[in-house]
Structure 1
Amino acid sequence: MGSVLELIDRFGYLGVAGVVFVESFGVPAPGETAIIAGAVAAGSGHLNIFGVAAVAFLAAVIGDTLGYEIGRRGGRPLVHRFGKYVRLTPQRLDKVEAFMTRQGPKVIVVARFVEGLRQFNGIVAGLSGMHYRKFIAWNALGAALWVGLWSTGGYFAGDHIEQIAKAASRYLVVAVAVAVLAVIAYVWRRRRHRHQVDR
């Protein structure tokens, strides 16, 4: 957090946007931390919180859209060739793609809050042939929720953000698991309802 705060202190909004942007199309970077650092800076009067949230949201959406285009145009050969440089191995790609295929586009929202999925959901959505408009809609919703959560939390937490982040991380896995189960239950109910209607 200290090094990211220094980065944001030096480059301001551009620092927040840059880190979030590169993370969103697959480069391992502390995008979440950059948003929190920007929000902390806003809380101390160095930046405007609405400016931090706006640039982070735009960077997240544009970065994911670039990832989508990489996946759609480059396909698996490109990812297999260069994925190792951003820790996207063929095995990890298969797991992420299978998960997204099973759960549908709604998982793009949940993926924003999961390390590993967040960086590659755009690439995998492009690879799997997800419709562009559908991807953009769910991606924008996920980015808005993600940026809103961390920018608000960082702004109001101020100097206590590190202690809060440590406490929150204990429950994050549980929260994500509950969200995923809710999506699965929703999809299962929809399929069951359709099956009964078809009868």
Structure 2
Amino acid sequence: MIQIPPSAIAQWGGAAVFANVLLTRLGVPLPSAPLLLFAGTAVANGRLSFVSVLVAAVAGALIGDGVWFAAGRIHGRKLIAALSRRSYAIDNGMRTTGALFERHGAPIVAVSKFIPGLGLVTPPLMGTTQIAVPAFVLWDTGGIVAWAAFWLLGGALFQRQLQWTLMELHLHGATVIDLLVVLALIFFAYRLLRRKPPHQPSDKSG
């Protein structure tokens, strides 16, 4: 199995977080929370800087969200319709986000980071609205900072439990990379299942 020396964690931790968060925000079916949790344990151990990892996560998320926001502003409702046709989950997320935006306004951009299924669909949908770019960036940045800090601090807080998990993995010949790969596969399967609409019972009356 792949072994990760402490020097590699210190050198590539921030870059790994940036790449992971960026790919997730661009729509690649990769979970971000597990890596942020383990980065939090590295911060607690003094192997990584909290500020550098937080900046890496925020930068990756802002770039990804910015790409989708710009795409929504350029292509408008055509993009939303195309995304909605891809899966039931995206279509449902678009409807939910639209309704929440009409009710609560721009703050939903920040809140959506904590609502499963809305973090990815909110930027392109906001691009089709009249929300000003500075307002979107402000609320998006605030939500990303809170979201990334939540997982990093959670990793630091539950450092002992996560370290125990790593020790168990090591005893079974695995590493954190193996765990992250398994979690990514599970997340990918979950995303595939969400693409399908719920089964509608046929109406045999009459």
TM-score range (shorter-chain normalised) is 0.5 to 0.7
Measured on the aligned residues, the alpha-carbon RMSD in Å equals 3.0
Q: 1:42 to 1:87 in 2, by over 3 A?
A: farther
Which residue of structure 1 aligns with residue 168 of structure 2?
Answer: none
Which consecutive unaligned segments of at least 5 residues does structure 1 have? 164-199
Q: Aligned AA for 2:56?
A: V
1:93 counterpart residue number: 94
Aligned partners of 1:85, 1:12: CA distance in 2, in Å? 33
The higher relative CO (CA closer than 8 Å, separation ≥ 6) is in 2
In the alignment, which residue of structure 2 is the partner of 1:158? 159
Partner of 2:171: none
Q: For the residues of structure 2 that align with 1:17 and 1:109, how far apart are their CA atoms? A: 19
TM-score of the pair, normalised by structure 1:
0.67
Tell me the CA shift for residue 29 of structure 1.
2.5
The normalised TM-score by structure 2 is 0.65
1:147 aligns with 2:148: yes
Q: How far off is 1:110 after superposition?
A: 1.1
| Residue ranges of structure 2 left out of the alignment (5+ in a row) | 165-206
CA positional deviation for 1:43: 2.6
1:122 counterpart letter in structure 2:
P
1:155 and 1:67 map into 2 onto residues whose CA distance is: 31
Is residue 24–residue 120 contact of structure 1 (8 Å, CA) maintained in 2? no
Shift of 1:50: 2.1
From the superposition, tell whether residues 86 and 13 of structure 1 become closer, same or farther in structure 2 (CA, over 3 Å): farther
Q: Cα–Cα, structure 1 residues 154 and 22, in superposed 2: closer, same or farther, change >3 Å?
A: same
Aligned residue runs from structure 1 range 13-52, under 5 A:
13-52=14-53
Where do 4+ consecutive residues of structure 1 move more than 4 Å?
8-11, 82-88
Per-residue CA deviations over 1:87-136 (Å, capped at 9, x if unaligned) read 76434323322222222011112111111111221111112231111101
Distance apart, 1:156 and its partner CA: 2.8
Percent identity over the alignment is 23
